[in-house]
Amino acid sequence: MCRIFKFKTGILLLLLILLCGCDMQWQRYNNREYGFSILLPSSWDKQEGALKAVIVAIAPLQNKRIPNKMHANMNVFVTELPEDIKLGIIFELNKEELSKFAAAMNDLTEGEIYAGSLPGKWLSFDGIIRDSRLKMISAVWVKNKRIYTITCSALLDEFALYKPIFSKIMRSLRVK
């Protein structure tokens, strides 16, 4: 009985480590045009310029038996500002823009985040987007008349698996 418990506990611990992305290989994506870099999982598909984003990274499917299932993903957008605008205003505008895509913003939470020494603000919510129940987290930073926005999303029931990965991605942003 004790051996079975230790075996099950060991398997659960191994799964937890794997799901947290601790063993994941990472690579730094550099963008000279917009002066930033970010860590991305090596196994994710990367596409520059897709969906009006500077970079989109898409996770491999967790369940390959469901081919049309939505992939967890991350997008980086950079917007040029005509003048200096405070982070709080940009954050509220980002929240308003995201609310246009979700039928309702349930379980809305927000807070502060740092990318290196650059302060930012984040919000997280779940909602129905294109017939899928998703959870999203989006963060904004402002530097040198540019807005850097990172938005990550996954199916609601899979979000907890990706949350540590999304957190690492967001905190890895470095702006020159």
Residues (pLDDT < 50) of the chain are: 2, 5-21
Cβ contacts of residue 112 below 8 Å, gap of 6+?
Answer: 119, 120, 121, 122
Cβ atoms 151, 138 nearer than 8 A: yes
Q: Which fold has domain 24-175?
A: Protein Transport Mog1p; Chain A (3.40.1000)
The whole-number pLDDT of residue 64 equals 61
Nearest to 33 by CA among 1, 76, 74: 76
Residues 152-155: contacts with CB under 8 Å, at least 24 apart:
152/72, 152/73, 152/74, 152/75, 153/72, 153/73, 153/129, 154/59, 154/70, 154/72, 154/73, 155/69, 155/70, 155/72
The whole-number pLDDT of residue 88 equals 96
Handedness of CA 148, 90, 126, 14 (dihedral sign): positive
The whole-number pLDDT of residue 47 equals 96
Q: Where are the beta strands (DSSP E) in the chain?
A: 26-31, 36-41, 45-48, 55-58, 73-80, 106-115, 118-129, 132-143, 146-155, 174-175
